[in-house]
Amino acid sequence: MLRLGGCLLLLLPLLFLLAPGPAEGEAEAAAERLSPYFGTKSRYEELHPELLRDPLSLGPPQPGFPLPPASCAPLQLGAVFRHGTRFPTRKQIQKLGRLHQLIQGNAGKCSANASAASRLARWTMWLRPEMDGKLAPRGRRDMEMLARRLAGRFPSLLARNRRFSFVSSSKHRCLDSAAAFREGLRQALDGQLQGTSQKHATTTEGIETNDKLMRFFDLCERFVKYIEDNDTAMHELDAFKEGPEMKEVVGKIANTLCLPVNDLNADLVQVAFFTCSFELAIKNISSPWCSLFSEEDAKVLEYLNDLKQYWKRAYGYPINSRSSCILMQDIFKHLDQAVTESKSSKPISSPVILQFGHAETLQPLLALMGFFKDEEPLKANNYHRQMHRKFRSGRIVPYAANLLFVLYHCDQATTPKEEYKIQILLNEKLMQFPHTGETVALYTDLKNHYNEALQNCHFSEVCDMPKNTTEGDLYVKASK
């Protein structure tokens, strides 16, 4: 028999869906003013506002995509996804609980700013530790709608009787995202996917789990020791927390809540900010937590989040991106196989490869490929100089982020080299290749460009603990 707590948790998704609230896209101005700055806690719709009106909209046409069908036809689609909208982690929920109790305990002492403090004191703490990062109902919808849109973008690949390969991280939010995506494909194709029955269309049955590819960062000993578990690795992040921009925000929030400034810190203020983002993403409401922050505050908090992503998952240390080379190799292995089979006039054995992971899966891979690299590293003391930075995590890896590799066969090519071309889309938008600035590349040229990463990637050499200090420093030397 399920315990009462378990029953309540099972009912929560239904309650969220039935709860009264504003229509989709009609959240109050407070949340909408802040929503461009939620970083990795951003809704996918921040990149595609048209989806708030029509979740199946393909948006305006993109020049150059797809390649002219008269000469080029898509041969293979490889995709790496971040899971859909999720609940906060247990640690985040516990921090929020402490902050909420602090506000409740001091609300009676407030006078001038009583409205904000009293409103938050009355706020219902609906988040529970057992939610712990699980996929929210909105996250399932994210993935279903994404699948249906991609079926519209690639009708010849995402078609009936095609073979679809599903791979996922072992985390439930990723497995559930894969299952939701598969269900969205089923709806789009109005039939059964090959190897999929109606019985398990919304379960995780038949989805391969592969943490070596989707959670390579956990298995990389050098990364875990020197970055993940190293208190000094995030020194730029820690310095920004104590810097003037963040101290001003903390002081302002403390004053608004009538709390002693020593009772608050950057982490607790960030938890309040993220609660605003979670209530918008999960419930589609403007949370009372949003009213604490101005747009300028939000920009500071976005930078705080981006500093963490930059130094822990991207360009801050070479090991961050180098550890993802195993995933890059896997992607190009499938592309190579499709080219070989096509040249031999054989059916493409893996026309669609769908891999479901995390922001931490995508961010290192994009860094390894050279996307969103600023001339100057993100640091604690250059916040104002980085106002127009390329590296903004909310625009790169929001919920349901997706990186698509589309391989084309062009039968009117003048040379064998021009016969196979490739495009990359991030979050359904065509990307310019960092080395050319173009939106299409010859496959052989792209492979040559990434030759060093592909040929010199030996996961054990990159990730095993070094035998000497000099070797270790090569991968953990900070960006300058």
* Cα-based distances in Å from 120 to 21, 125, 276, 288: 18, 10, 12, 7
User: How many Å separate Cα 375 from the centre of its chain?
Assistant: 23
- Taking alpha carbons only, the member of 83, 133, 62 closest to residue 354 is 83
Three-state SS at 426: strand
Residue 267 CA to residue 91 CA, distance in Å, equals: 12
Beta pairing partners, 165: 353
Residue 185 CA to residue 81 CA, distance in Å, equals: 15
- Taking alpha carbons only, the member of 329, 325, 336, 311 closest to residue 365 is 325
Residue indicated by tokens 């953990």? 476
Annotated active-site residue in 48, 83, 100, 358: 83
- Taking alpha carbons only, the member of 222, 355, 275 closest to residue 34 is 275
Is 172 noted as a catalytic residue in this protein?
A: no
101-121 in b/e form (b: 16+ CB < 10 A) is ebbbebbeebeeeeebbbebb
Helices (H), 76-136: 90-106, 114-122
- Taking alpha carbons only, the member of 478, 457, 464 closest to residue 322 is 457
Residue indicated by tokens 């609980």? 97
**HSE-up (13 A, CA, CB side) for residue 309:** 30
Residue 217 CA to residue 361 CA, distance in Å, equals: 8
Helices (H), 220-256: 221-223, 235-241, 244-256
- Taking alpha carbons only, the member of 41, 137, 135, 131 closest to residue 91 is 131
Reading the block at residue 1, the tokens are 């028999």
* Cα-based distances in Å from 264 to 24, 103, 124, 250, 406: 34, 11, 21, 7, 48
- Taking alpha carbons only, the member of 403, 399, 407 closest to residue 426 is 403
- Taking alpha carbons only, the member of 351, 322, 432, 346 closest to residue 79 is 351
Give the residue numbers marked as catalytic: 83
